[in-house]
Amino acid sequence: IGMPVAAIGCLVKNHRTLDDSGMRAKLGFLYQGFRPKYFYWEAIVLLRKVAVACVVVFLLTIDRALQALICFGLLLVAYTIQERNQPYVHSSLNKLDTRSIIVALITLYCGLYFISDDLNDTSQILLLLVMLFSNAYFLVFWVIQIGKGLPLFLKQHHPGFYNHLLKTPCLSKCLIAKPTY
């Protein structure tokens, strides 16, 4: 809990100077990529992860199903907040974060059924397939989104390498295409 709170504290304390190059060098990793009014959002994401970890670690004495339901509730709140605010500059990052929460919800929901001993083999296989396919879908979606952003990243951070790739006929068509966000 200390890191997210410390991050929020640093960002709030310095929120008027976040556009300064010195501050961007120190704290930019915490807020670049978010719309300006959501400069603190990385701390919100960290708090979400810490909250789920705390439920799993510190509530060991309560029923596993209740633990899972508490985590499910936390993720539903996180989904609602994420969906309403859309804090990222690029819509693809908003989609990634939203879909990651949805996949976590699906996995947790299906996992709830494994806690009970009432499932037959067919139901277990079906639920396992739902979990596997939803996670595989997210992984493929993530790879596609990273692939779309790669040309812009290379152009901005490794222009020499980017220009070298432009000389390759097959890659030049992919790199020149305007990335969609």
User: What is the biggest distance separating any 2 CA atoms in the chain, rounded to whole angstroms?
Assistant: 61
Which has more confidence, 126 or 14? Answer: 126
Count Cα atoms within 13 angstroms, Cβ side, for 78: 28
pLDDT above 90 as % of the chain = 39
How far is 125 from 117, CA to CA, in rounded Å?
A: 14
Token duo for residue 87? 């804090």
Q: What is the pLDDT of residue 134?
A: 97
CB within 8 A of 147, min separation 6: which ones?
none
Q: What is the pLDDT of residue 12?
A: 77
- Whether 72 has a pLDDT exceeding 60, the answer reads yes
Q: What is the pLDDT of residue 163?
A: 81
Mean pLDDT, residues 85-114: 93
Which has more confidence, 18 or 47? Answer: 47
- Whether 89 has a pLDDT exceeding 70, the answer reads yes
Task: Please write the tens of the pLDDT for every residue from 124-140.
Answer: 999 999 999 999 999 99
How far is 176 from 181, CA to CA, in rounded Å?
A: 15
Q: Are 109 and 69 in contact (CB under 8 A)?
A: no
- Whether 165 has a pLDDT exceeding 80, the answer reads no
- Whether 179 has a pLDDT exceeding 60, the answer reads no
Which residues are bridge partners to 34 per DSSP?
Answer: 88
Which range, of 22-36, 59-73, 91-105, 108-122, averages the lowest pLDDT?
A: 22-36
Q: What is the pLDDT of residue 162?
A: 80
Q: Work out the angle at residue 92's Cα, subtended by the Cα atoms of residues 90 and 98, and round it to the nearest 5 degrees.
A: 110
- Whether 175 has a pLDDT exceeding 70, the answer reads no
Mean pLDDT, residues 31-36: 83
Which has more confidence, 118 or 169? Answer: 118
101 pLDDT tier (thresholds 50, 70, 90): very high
- Whether 115 has a pLDDT exceeding 90, the answer reads no
Q: What is the pLDDT of residue 178?
A: 55
Q: Are 72 and 105 in contact (CB under 8 A)?
A: yes
